[in-house]
Amino acid sequence: MNQFRPTRFEVLPTVIKNLLIINGLIFLAQNTFGGPASSFSFEDYFALHAWQSNLYQPWQLITHMFLHGDFGHILGNMFALWMFGSILENVWGPKRFLLFYFLCGVGAAVIHLLILSYENIALGNEYQTLLTLSKSNAAGFSDALIKYAQSHHIPLSRILSDNKVSLSTPGFAPELMDLITTYYNKSINTATLGASGAVFGILIAFVYLFPNTYIYIYFLFPIKAKWLGILYFAFELYKALENSAGDNVARWAHVGGAIVGFLLVYIWKKKGH
């Protein structure tokens, strides 16, 4: 099956329709009842947090898939879900498609957490070393602080300038560590949200099943699904490995969703399902 040919195709099958409705309603609730002025945080309770965070809860492996950061985020995910997911649901049926969707989403979350956990262990060890040096006023504190700030993209020069101090200011180490601790806790408690992991699994499944189907980028430029899938996956993998500062996209969740989606559809096809 290299190219998709619709037969009795439903434009909006049952599972897709309900996922779109649920995601839309939750996004509306986020923007109606959430926000800085609210005492309840959707992200704290339902977005995905690192295992090292005191905000982590097991249910977040699923609930994070129904939260989105802004309108562009949910629009992109829901459009891709409808565009590729509708075809898969028509081919597989609602039960198998729903199972595939959640397996990709949870699998992406687990892979993301594994990478995040590895990064946070290193971050925590470095932080504890820095904390020990600050308490003992060790001579190497300044050098260790500079290295830590550079490694984790902390704007140390701005912090020093805002507080009108330098690293040589007597007795400033404990106060400076309080500021560094704020950045550390913010990093550990960073939330991940969105259906992107599951959507990437759906995209890869479509590419695997219908590699020669043409997809029109911006509705104008045709490209075969197999080339789009390869290029998109390569880009996400490159950005994940690069781990550039300021990139708040969960690249490893995208990569993880694609890997889980490929493995599932590969196994199912081999078994004739």
Q: Which residues lie below 8 Å from residue 180, measured CB to CB, with a gap of 6+?
A: 127, 130, 145, 148, 149, 154
Q: Which residues lie below 8 Å from residue 207, measured CB to CB, with a gap of 6+?
A: 225, 226, 228, 229, 230
Burial class of residue 2 in the structure, from the number of CB atoms within 10 Å of its CB (0-12 exposed, 13-18 middle, 19+ buried): exposed
Mind listing the pLDDT tens digit of every residue in the chain (273 residues)?
555 555 556 788 999 999 999 999 999 999 888 666 667 788 989 999 999 899 999 999 999 999 998 999 999 999 999 999 999 999 999 999 999 999 999 999 999 999 988 888 888 888 888 887 777 665 677 778 788 887 777 777 777 777 776 766 666 667 777 778 888 888 888 899 999 999 999 999 999 999 888 887 666 678 888 888 889 889 888 888 887 545 567 888 999 999 999 999 999 988 876
Q: How far is CA 198 from CA 157, 169, 246, 261, in A?
A: 40, 51, 24, 8
Instruction: Dig out the tokens for 67 from the structure.
Output: 């939260």
Q: Which domains does the chain have, with CATH numbers?
A: 14-117+192-270 (1.20.1540.10), 120-188 (no CATH)
Q: What predicted TM-score, i.e. pTM, was given to this entire model?
A: 0.84
- Asked whether 20 and 86 are in contact (CB, 8 A), the reply is no
For residues 272 and 266, what is the distance between their CA atoms, to the nearest angstrom?
10
* Residues 147, 151, 156, 157, CA torsion sign: positive
Tokens 């439903």 belong to: 10
Which of 117, 115, 96, 68 lies closest to 236, judged by CA? 115
